[in-house]
Copies of this chain bind each other. A is one copy, B any other.
């Protein structure tokens, strides 16, 4: 073995000694922090490349050598720097999740879903709040193009053109934002709206109001369209109020506007807004569901314990996050998405709770 050429040097890791070839002194700092691949290689008496392969491509290294290297690496607590690894491989093992508003519980569920799935796949999640701004979203996408291997855009505010451009340059999956440019996870809102309408009409409601969310929201447009299409043939009196910001505080304005339309039931853009409305209605002495029925959307945390509990179009949000991750990773995989899905539709169902009831008798 070549170790006979080596001379023993002063160990710098917990009193261990190691062999070093008679070369110019490599500038290995012994700061006690973060051992590098070189440290491992020196201790194991092999080249750095061998260490690299032993750890990342084990079957291309002799078993004894590999085990020795693994042992030493473990002793040193060696962790390959993902920074340096990413340099040559071009990958970061991180994916970014862009949400319009970390404040919104809807996105919490998505965060949770992606987080779980990414961790399972050994990826790191980079969480970014784009503050409901398309510009900020595009900006983040640009700035992080090298930082993340891929992006999940939840409820993207991007224009079609911008999204197309972005998707051409990086791996992207959208959630609740249909697009022909990037794979998408859709939550089946149309189906849910239809269920909600059926529920309300079967309870005798004939004057129904759609309480709209932000105008830049794709899913809001979709929900309204379905609502509009489906009510046309049923002899219902419909109205629409909004747009309202998807926050609880907008609930007061939304409730007042909805009441003014004379409707006896509302289908509301999302649960946050709906819960805000419930509060306002109670303040005003309007009983739910006796005077007014409310249907929310998303089934967020809190929809089950608000007062009254909210009837809502429940969607498997967390699962949507997980599916988005799978689709993204498939895109990144070696098979290059030859057959990977472009669209996943998450099923939705109506969860009936206390906020909907029979239509009030006509005075």
Contacts and interface: CB of A to CB of B under 8 A. Distances in A.
B129 A126 contact: no
Interface in A182-210: 183-184, 186
Contacts of A32: 169
A108 interface: yes
A interface secondary structure, majority: mixed
A278 interface: yes
A349 to B, nearest CB: 16
A289 B306 CA distance: 17
Interface residues of A, number: 90
Interface string A29-52: 111111000000000000000000
Copies in the complex: 2
Contact of A342 (B16, B77, B129, B301): B16
B343 A82 contact: no
Interface stretch (A6-14, A237-245, A290-298): A6-14
A131 to B, nearest CB: 9
A7 to B, nearest CB: 11
Nearest to A109: B103
Given A16-B342, A33-B169, A34-B146, A21 B83 contact: no
A102 interface: yes
Nearest to A170: B30
Interface in A313-339: 336-339
Nearest to A81: B146
A154 to B, nearest CB: 14
Interface string A259-286: 0000000000000000100110000000
A103 B92 contact: no
A342 B125 contact: no
B116 A129 contact: yes
Given A116-B129, A301-B302, A344-B16, A336 B82 contact: no
10 contacts: A5-B167, A17-B343, A19-B337, A31-B145, A83-B84, A102-B115, A111-B111, A126-B127, A278-B305, A302-B302
Given A33-B169, A102-B111, A302-B302, 12 more contacts: A1-B169, A10-B342, A30-B169, A31-B146, A31-B170, A34-B145, A79-B145, A83-B147, A105-B105, A125-B127, A127-B127, A307-B307
